[in-house]
Amino acid sequence: MRSRKSIAVLLLLILPLGFSAVWRLQHQIDRQLDRAEEENDDVLLRSGKLVRVLSLEYGTFLADVYWTRAVQYFGLKRFRQAMSMDMLWPLLDLSTTLDPHLLVAYRFGCFFLAEPTPQGAGQPNLAVMFVQRGIAANPEYWRLYQDLGFLYYWELRDYQKASEAFLEGSRHPDALDWMKVMAAKIAGEGRSRETSMFLWRQIYESTKDDTIRKNAFNHVQLIKAESDMEQLDEILFEFEQEHTRLPDGFGELIRLGLLPGRPLDPAGYPYALSTIGKVEFDPKSPLAITQRSDELGRRRQSITHAPGG
Amino acid sequence: MTRTGIVAWNTFREAVRDRVLYNLVFFALLMMATAVLVGQISIGIDSIVIVSLGLSAVSVIGLLMAVFIGVGLVYKEMDKRTLYALLAKPIRRWEFLLGKFAGLLLTLTVNTAAMTVGLFLTLFYVNRALHSADLVVLTAVYFILLKLAIIVALALLFSCFTTPFLSICFTAGIYVTGLFVKDIRSFSDITGNPALDRVAVWFSYLLPNFQNFDVMGAAAHGRAVPGAIVAQNTLYAAVYCAIVLAAAAVIFSRRNLK
């Protein structure tokens, strides 16, 4: 009887102590494994042809698995603000080699590849090649021309090629009329706020994915904000001409009746006035983050395209 | 009911008694998990992944059943010595074989039909509707059944003259080789040897071409399969099964069962 009691007491001591030790150990193992996972970030089989052979007749399903892995990889890297997404291309390549008709992989994958880091992989040229591959495998799907045109227009700023892509897509019997309009407009004007707004709206309306929609929505708002900022800069310029100095802040402009109230950006955050009299976003505004990311990408791209870059 | 029909019906009943159809529970769980999870872990492939995973599961489960039950159809009867009692009755050996083939095919058809219903229910749950493009899934399921019919015929052929283990190896080997028939035909591109090319081409026509029946990609993307292919594949499977079953009947008829 006594020995039973002592076993029970012993168990009461051992179990919590033991499990707390297990809990701590598991945390340490998790940390080690997380580190190892970062280092072992790899795709073991990179040959699409080999994977296709090994997949027997289940290539379509395996393509879905690789596409899901690409989405997970992209999401994780974006969440961690990683500066490289080396595995994104092999995953997209495998998905579309296994299933060349997986349209969703071309449509989203090209944006994952093209967007500047850390929002994407920062490889717009690879994204263009990827969409062209998608067009070759699915010539009947005109939306891929829209994506190609958009990549040339927005990411590479090659308006000649953007116009050609829209024109080529507009020849498809199912293509919407605006493709032809866009081809002519870009060929004539190059980049314009109106065109950019329209293209981002098209992306917003043609996708159901929340991340892409949010990104497109932010860009639409950013373009609206650029217009607001231009108007505010004009008011500031007029004030400076009249008073030969910069205003103390927006408050002074409101008091003078030059502004009806505190100006807010389309996301609802108040605009800020810099010390040199330039209108800026509130650093907390999501539009400031989108703007910074776009500028960073543009700067990186210009370094890459510079001679010897 | 004809003698072949009686054997077929009893083969089906035996499979049901052996709880072969329990795999449907696994299939149902797989479909339910996919329906719930896929939208959360991926982008834009909800119905594509359900169709491709569903058809892959139908195919794999069917293949496992066709091979593992098929190779035991004749062997088990011999091993348990029930075959002797059966053949003492007025039934020809080829009728027995044909009955076994039809019985297993009936089992596979019932099993596949149930899985197809599950697949459509999952599609309906995810899309909240069924579209006319989803009908191509039925063509893909039909092609899987045609493929399974050839596999059963092959398994039956091997089970007439060898052990179940070897029968499994031979059937699985032919199945995998049959998926690469096109590559076998392009052997000469690698070797540059015309004689070898001719042998490879002849060999490729002897093998069942399982690539003919692979329309899972088309089904997943809702692309229609031409009616001519359906008719030609049906004829191909019927002719191939007839050849294999005839060979099996000849071997089984000459086999000394003492």
Q: What is the pLDDT of residues B238-252, one digit of tens each?
A: 999 999 999 999 998
Cβ of B127 under 8 Å from any chain A Cβ?
Answer: no
Instruction: Please report the pLDDT score of residue A15 as a whole number.
Output: 82
Task: Note the pLDDT tens digit of each residue in A71-113.
Answer: 888 888 888 777 778 889 999 999 999 999 999 999 999 999 9
Q: Which one of A57, A69, A72, A99 would you mutate to disrupt binding with B, by most B Cβ within 10 Å of its Cβ?
A: A57
Residues found in chain A: 309
- Label residue A47 by pLDDT band (50, 70, 90): confident
Mean pLDDT, residues A274-296 = 78
pLDDT at residue A85 in the model: 85
Q: Tell me the C-alpha distance between B20 and B11, whole Å.
A: 12
Nearest CA in chain B to A101: B221
For A209, which residue in chain B has the nearest alpha carbon? B43
ipTM for the complex shown: 0.74
Contact A72 B59 (CB under 8 A): no
* Nearest chain A alpha carbon to B54: A61
**Å between A67 CA and nearest CA of chain B:** 8
pTM: 0.73
Nearest to B45 among A59, A64, A72 (CB): A64
Taking a C-beta distance cutoff of 8 angstroms, is the pair A85, A120 a contact? yes
pLDDT at res. A210: 76
Whole-number Å distance between alpha carbons of A290 and A211: 13
Segment A234-270, tens digit of pLDDT? 888 888 888 888 888 888 888 888 888 888 888 888 8
Percent of chain A with pLDDT over 90: 22
B198 shares contact with chain A (CB less than 8 Å): no
More confident residue, A127 or B46: A127
Cβ separation A72–B180 shorter than 8 A: no
pLDDT (0 to 100) of residue A134: 95
Is the pLDDT confidence value at A2 over 70? Answer: no
Amino acid letter, residue B134: D
d(CA A214, CA A204) in angstroms, rounded, equals 8
One-letter identity of residue B72: G
The DSSP annotation for chain B comes to --HHHHHHHHHHHHHHHTTGGGHHHHHHHHHHHHHHHHHHHSSS-HHHHHHHHHHHHHHHHHHHHHHHHHTHHHHHHHHTTHHHHHHTSS--HHHHHHHHHHHHHHHHHHHHHHHHHHHHHHHHHHHSS--GGGGHHHHHHHHHHHHHHHHHHHHHHHHTTS-HHHHHHHHHHHHHHHTTHHHHHTHHHHH--HHHHHHHHHHHHHS--GGGG--HHHHHTTPPPPHHHHHHHHHHHHHHHHHHHHHHHHHHHH----
pLDDT per residue as tens digits for the range A152-165: 998 898 999 999 99
Q: How does pLDDT run across B136-183, given as a tens digit for each residue?
A: 999 999 999 999 999 999 999 999 888 899 999 999 999 999 998 888
Mark which residues 182-211 of A lie under 8 Å from B by CB: 208-209
pLDDT of residue A308: 38
- Residue A60 Cα, gap to closest chain B Cα (Å): 5
Cα separation of A296 and A220, whole Å?
19
B221 touches chain A (CB under 8 A): yes
Q: Is the pLDDT of residue A307 over 50?
A: no
Determine the residue among A60, A67, A96, A140 to mutate to test chain B binding: the one whose Cβ has the most chain B Cβ atoms within 10 Å.
Answer: A60
Percent of chain B with pLDDT over 90: 41
Q: How many residues make up chain B in this entry?
A: 258
**With contact defined as beta carbons under 8 Å apart, do B62 and B108 qualify?**
yes
Q: Which of A291-295, B80-84, B204-208 has the lowest mean pLDDT?
A: A291-295
Please tell me the distance in Å from A66's CA to the nearest CA on chain B.
10
Tell me: pLDDT of A221 over 50.
yes
B-chain CB neighbours of A60 within 8 Å are 52, 56, 216-217, 220
A33 pLDDT band, cuts 50/70/90, is: low
Which residues of chain A have a CB within 8 Å of the CB of B41?
68, 71-72
Q: Closest CB to B56: pick one of A58, A103, A107.
A: A58
Interchain proximity B52–A61, CB inside 8 Å: yes
Among B31, B42, B43, B52, the strongest candidate for a mutation testing the A interface, having the largest count of A CBs within 10 A, is B43
Shortest Cα distance, chain A CAs vs residue B31, angstroms: 14
> What's the pLDDT score for residue A300?
55
Amino acid at B38: V
What is the spatial distance between Cα A134 and Cα A127, in angstroms, rounded to a whole number?
A: 11
Given this model, what pLDDT does residue A42 score? 61
For A179-205, what is the mean pLDDT? 82
Q: How confident is the model at residue A40 (pLDDT cuts 50, 70, 90)?
A: low
Q: What is the pLDDT of residues B69-79, one digit of tens each?
A: 999 888 888 88
Radius of gyration of chain B (CA): 20
Q: Which of A99, A107, A208 sits opposite B217 (nearest CB)?
A: A99
Any A CB within 8 A of B142 CB: no
Residue B133 and residue B83: Cα distance in Å, rounded? 48
B216 touches chain A (CB under 8 A): yes
Contacting residues for A33 by C-beta, under 8 A, at least 6 apart: none
Q: Would you state the pLDDT for residue B155?
A: 95
CA A100 to CA B212: how far, in whole Å?
18
| Out of B43, B53, B210, closest to residue A61 by CB | B53
Specify the pLDDT at position B1.
66
Q: What is the pLDDT of residues B106-127, one digit of tens each?
A: 999 999 999 999 999 988 988 8
Cβ A72–B56 below 8 Å, yes or no? no
Under an 8 A CB cutoff, do B43 and A61 touch? no
**Residues A75, A119 contacting (CB under 8 angstroms):** no
Instruction: Determine contact, residues A222/A290, Cβ cutoff 8 Å.
Output: yes
Spacing of C-alpha A31 from chain mean position: 29
Q: Among residues 5-34 of chain B, which lie with CB inside 8 Å of chain A?
A: none
| Residue whose token pair is 């492939």 | B45
CA distance B33 to B28: 9
- Quote the tokens at residue B79: 């091993």
Name B248's bridge partners.
none
Q: Report the sign of the C-alpha dihedral through residues B177, B183, B186, B189, in that order.
A: negative
Sign of the four-CA dihedral B84, B85, B91, B94: negative
